[in-house]
Structure 1
Amino acid sequence: FAFGGLGINPHWVTPRNPWDAENHRAPGGSSAGAGVSLHEGSAMVAFGTDTGGSVRIPASLTGNVGIKTSKGRWSTDGIVPLSSTFDTPGILTKSVADAVFAFEAIDAKSRHSTAKITIKDKSNITLGVTTDYFWDKCQDDIGEVVENTIAELSNAGFKTQPVALPEAHEAVEVMAGGIIAASEGYEFLASELPDWLKTLHPYVAARMNTGGESSTFDYLTALRRVQRLWQRADAQLAEVDVLATPTIPVTPPIISEVEDPETYRNSNMLTLSNTMAGNSLNLCGITIPVGLDKAGMPVGLQLLSRLHNEETLLAVALAVEVVIGTPAERLGKPPLGGSL
């Protein structure tokens, strides 16, 4: 029910991450088949909804590009909601260039504008770099890949600027508490699809039931906390074009190693930890493949920008791709890939 970052699906079988030929690793979720579909050639553009990372996570873990749009940028009409506060539609593609092409075709504002998104001049790009929250849980090998990429961009002419974003920790803490998303998701199901509540997987049901048990006071308190943080985060990012961070701080787990509910919960929260900041701080974002970790799994660079700043975000992402190459050039072919 779009409520998990690993992409494990006991109902329809979990898609296999194409970057590990020996082990069945998590493909990332909740748009679990989206990233895999790009590699097998069944899609050139895949769609998903990003409530806490459900577009960026499967994109990053399968070595693809994934865009999380700003809240309200694209309509959510026709999408089964999980959280009216955090849900945002997004797309996954095999390159930034493809992502920009698809974005401009879908985006109403872009379709009615004569201005096109083009590569931003490197000398006019400022990358915000933080040393706090986004790196706290990061594996050394993943952190090294992302740090080296930021250094590579700096050497190519990108400007870098330190940014303190303490709001990320608090915002993710509130979101991870589950009250906002679970309350909104539970209310929708109870009102519109009550029979679905009986069919949810136990992992999803446990999180969803938190919403049914929460008080109005708890819900509104959590909502107002994150809304106050939105304003502070927007001000912190005012002097940079994007904030550059690792997308996922850990290697995707082998499916058999997260069958225990507690192990699953811990792995799921680690996987979501960096992407949730984008949703809980009301930002737009993109993930770009930048290398492989020690297990041979893709590592993503996450770029976050202020609300409704997609044009700048994508112009910067295009400039990044010019420097580091496309995902196919940077990572090569996955062992189980078909079309990449």
Structure 2
Amino acid sequence: MSEPTIAAAAEALIHGDATSREMASDAIDRIAEPAGEGSRAFVRRNDTRAIAMAEASDLLRSTGRRRSVLEGLPISVKDLFDIAGETTSAGSTALARQPAANADAPVVKRLVAAGAVIVGTTNMSEFAFSGIGLNPHHGTPRNPFDRETGRVPGGSSSGAAVSVSDGMAVAAIGTDTGGSIRIPAALCGLTGFKPTARRVSAEGVVPLSTSLDSIGPIARSVACCAAIDAIIAADAPLPPFELQLAGLRLAVPQTVVLADMDRAVSAAFNRALSRLSSAGAVITDIELPEFSEVATIYARGGLVAAEAYHWHRQLIADVGEQYDPRVRVRILRGREVTAADYIETLAVRRLWQARVEAKIAGYDALVMPTVPIIAPAIAALEGDDDAFFAANALVLRNPTMINFLDGCALSVPCHAPGEPPAGLMIAGAQMQDRKILSVGLAIEAALASITAFG
């Protein structure tokens, strides 16, 4: 049975079919289940606080009041966000001796003010520096698809996705620097939204790349993502406007993003395009040669290595041996990026963005596979650096284009029941968030007859 959307869970509370305390207790029980993924999906729990928050929500509801659609719903938060009284560890052991946070990050404050029940802090790729989701310190939560094999959940928001897929939270808050919300959403059969970066405050959040980091939700539907986005971005709580799919102009980039698709993703993607076309969408193949330039820009270290090294340099000097070696080696590349290199990359990015925005301006959205492959097996990547780095580069490739654009993007499921999860990415230029969410609603509805949302 599928887990509920935010709207369905909220209706259950409104009509008295459940209490917030019952929902929180159920989430806690699922996290604690010995045979489940909770011990790998979460790095910190505060059951007492979660129950107290839920009981407070039930009391408020008994007076006829509700702060938002998130009132009383269990939500998980990635281990990058400060929570008062806790040490934010970013999926690492290197920060274990750092002081506890004095205050909640603004995103957490907004969730709590909206009535959300924070059930715990989720596991992640160490310091958010991987699209795979492996974590040698806390273990790797297994993808809900094919648990017998044990497949990666996608990263870096690995625990966030598994917390939703396994009913430990109705929705999760993650971060996305090169796909870290959309990748785990795609690989786990969920919906994820990366907003325009500047719309959501990154204060109180451990950074990876201050130029690229974005904060958004992983949930079960586009409407769920839109509801959370409005709260954490402090926007007016307006739903995305209604759009008819017929006549929407959807561009499919032919450069880079369709390469190296495996058979399952290719079949799901092409079937989705056929369904959208049949429903009246105008689908156009376009060349975006700018996409072929991104790998070269990143090969010089790009923005991520330089900005990550700036934040990590003293910590690596002090306790570098505690880092995952695969993370440490990529951060240390930032030592080789000169100030001139960094400034040049910023300038190149601005020109690149202008060229891409001009070419996509006539379309309602770009559509492409979120990730070109299904989730690989954990065992195949844990002990093989070459396999790990090849898979990591491949899963990050398509989402990274939109981060470099400073755009916004959804990933929605496009696989059929019983098939390996695959995501369809719906993307647009910066500050087109509400439009992309609206396009996403229309596409989600058109794909409903073939997709598996749970």
TM-score by length of 1: 0.91
CA distance in 1, matches of 2:272, 2:427: 16
Q: How does 1:27-42 map onto structure 2 within 5 Å?
A: 27-42=153-168
Residue 151 of structure 2 is aligned to residue 25 of structure 1: yes
Gaps of 5+ in 1: 333-339
**Post-superposition shift, 1:247?**
0.5
Residue 137 of structure 2 is aligned to residue 8 of structure 1: no
The one-letter amino acid paired with 1:156 is: A
The one-letter amino acid paired with 2:406 is: N
The aligned counterpart of 1:242 is: 365
The aligned counterpart of 1:171 is: 294
Q: Deviations over 1:269-289 (max 9, x none)?
A: 011111111111221101000
Q: Secondary structure at the match of 2:411?
A: strand
Residue 170 of structure 2 is aligned to residue 44 of structure 1: yes
**Post-superposition shift, 1:262?**
1.4
User: Percent identity, aligned pairs only?
Assistant: 33
Q: Secondary structure at the match of 2:304?
A: helix
The aligned counterpart of 1:209 is: 332
**Post-superposition shift, 1:144?**
2.3
The aligned counterpart of 1:337 is: none
CA distance in 2, matches of 1:223, 1:282: 12
The one-letter amino acid paired with 2:366 is: L
CA distance in 1, matches of 2:361, 2:256: 19
2:303 equivalent among 171, 180, 205: 180
The aligned counterpart of 2:224 is: 98
The aligned counterpart of 1:282 is: 406
The aligned counterpart of 2:386 is: 262
The aligned counterpart of 1:107 is: 233
Q: Deviations over 1:86-107 (max 9, x none)?
A: 1111110011121122222333
CA distance in 1, matches of 2:304, 2:416: 32
**Post-superposition shift, 1:125?**
1.6
**Post-superposition shift, 1:75?**
1.0
The aligned counterpart of 1:272 is: 396
CA distance in 1, matches of 2:131, 2:385: 14
Gaps of 5+ in 2: 1-126
Q: Deviations over 1:162-207 (max 9, x none)?
A: 3221111212432354341111011112257853544210000010
- Greater RCO (CA < 8 Å, at least 6 residues apart): 1
Pairwise CA RMSD = 2.0
Residues 63 and 173 of structure 1: CA distance in aligned 2, closer, same or farther (over 3 Å): farther
Q: Secondary structure at the match of 1:122?
A: coil
**What is the total number of aligned residue pairs between the two structures?**
327
2:190 equivalent among 64, 67, 70: 64
CA distance in 1, matches of 2:447, 2:419: 18
Residues 141 and 41 of structure 1: CA distance in aligned 2, closer, same or farther (over 3 Å): closer
CA distance in 1, matches of 2:244, 2:252: 19
CA distance in 1, matches of 2:197, 2:165: 28
The aligned counterpart of 2:52 is: none
Residues 51 and 242 of structure 1: CA distance in aligned 2, closer, same or farther (over 3 Å): same
Residue 322 of structure 2 is aligned to residue 199 of structure 1: yes
Q: Secondary structure at the match of 2:246?
A: helix
Q: Deviations over 1:238-274 (max 9, x none)?
A: 0001100000001221111112111111111011111
The aligned counterpart of 2:76 is: none
CA distance in 2, matches of 1:175, 1:124: 36
The 8 Å contact of residues 172 and 217 in structure 2, kept in 1 or not, is answered as yes
2:260 equivalent among 125, 137, 155: 137
The aligned counterpart of 2:50 is: none
